[in-house]
Amino acid sequence: LDARRVALRYLRFWFWVDFASSIPLDLIMYISLPGYCAAAGAQAGGELKLLKVFRLVRLLKLLRLLKINKLVSVAQQEYGVNPSLVELLGLMIRILAVTHWVGCLWNMPAAYYYSDDNLTAEEQLGRARETWLSPLLLAYDEVEPLTELPPVSDIYVASMYWTVTTISTIGYGDQHAVRGFERVLSIVIMLLGCAFFGFVVGGMQDIANQFDANAARTRVKLDLVKAAMHERGMPQPMVRRVKEYYSHYLSECADAE
């Protein structure tokens, strides 16, 4: 490998993605903004909210998931892995990645609303009850009245639960939008979720078909026969008879193998 060419290619795109997502924003704010760690002063509230927006730049690293197709092809060529298994793994990784992104996006407006650093724990809890988290918090209250927000891990699991039930078109309805912007966001996610669900079903169907190697070879040969008959302009009754014959013949050959 030519190190110079590799470096130049890296500098064209991925260097800037890695550079922007690796900027130590917390350290910069700690040095430049007094009282950043305590977040107690009202003067720092606006800057802290702006910092949360800047932190979204770190999500640029997720662009590396776009290289998954290249990794799949390398695994197939270098290690001789079953292509169907590799494609199934790649599809599962895409499903998990999209589910994680949508789950974080779903909770983002609510988190921005209730996670004001200038509010007390009880005030943050009161604001959270005005968001999609209200059914979750009511379920907690039935066991023991809450005095502060539940753990972030529980909120994340609830958000992922809503995402999976929505994208998979199940939609139990126990978690639902409360605020106006949440309703708009849920509409967008449901519309895009239908398209993504169709993509997943189509991908699973393709992978299931590829697991049957004999069926795949049969389809290829039948396609060649149909193309040859189409080029010669054979009549439709003859085309049907030839297709039926070759379908039977190829299936018998596959059983013999």
Alpha carbon distance 182, 162 (integer Å): 13
Q: Band the pLDDT of 163: cuts 50, 70, 90.
A: very high
Alpha carbon distance 90, 5 (integer Å): 29
Task: Find out whether 141 and 128 touch, Cβ atoms under 8 Å.
Answer: no
**How far, rounded to the nearest angstrom, does the alpha carbon of residue 8 sit from its chain's CA centroid?**
31
For 110-115, what is the mean pLDDT? 86
- 248: its two tokens: 């039977």
Q: Please tell me the predicted confidence (pLDDT) of residue 184.
A: 92
Alpha carbon distance 67, 89 (integer Å): 14
pLDDT reading at 126 higher than 80: yes
Lowest mean pLDDT segment, chosen from 85-94, 134-143, 175-184: 85-94
Alpha carbon distance 15, 13 (integer Å): 6
Q: Which residues of 46-76 are buried (b: 16+ CB within 10 A; e: fewer)?
A: eebeebeeeeeeeeeeeeeeeeeeeebeebe
Mean per-residue pLDDT over the chain, rounded: 77
Does the predicted TM-score (pTM) go above 0.85? no
Q: Does 193 or 70 have the greater pLDDT score? A: 193
Q: How far is CA 43 from each of CA 32, 33, 40, 225, rounded to the nearest angstrom?
A: 14, 10, 9, 76
- Nearest-CA neighbor of 94 among 211, 205, 204, 206? 204
Q: Please tell me the predicted confidence (pLDDT) of residue 168.
A: 85
Q: Please tell me the predicted confidence (pLDDT) of residue 39.
A: 47
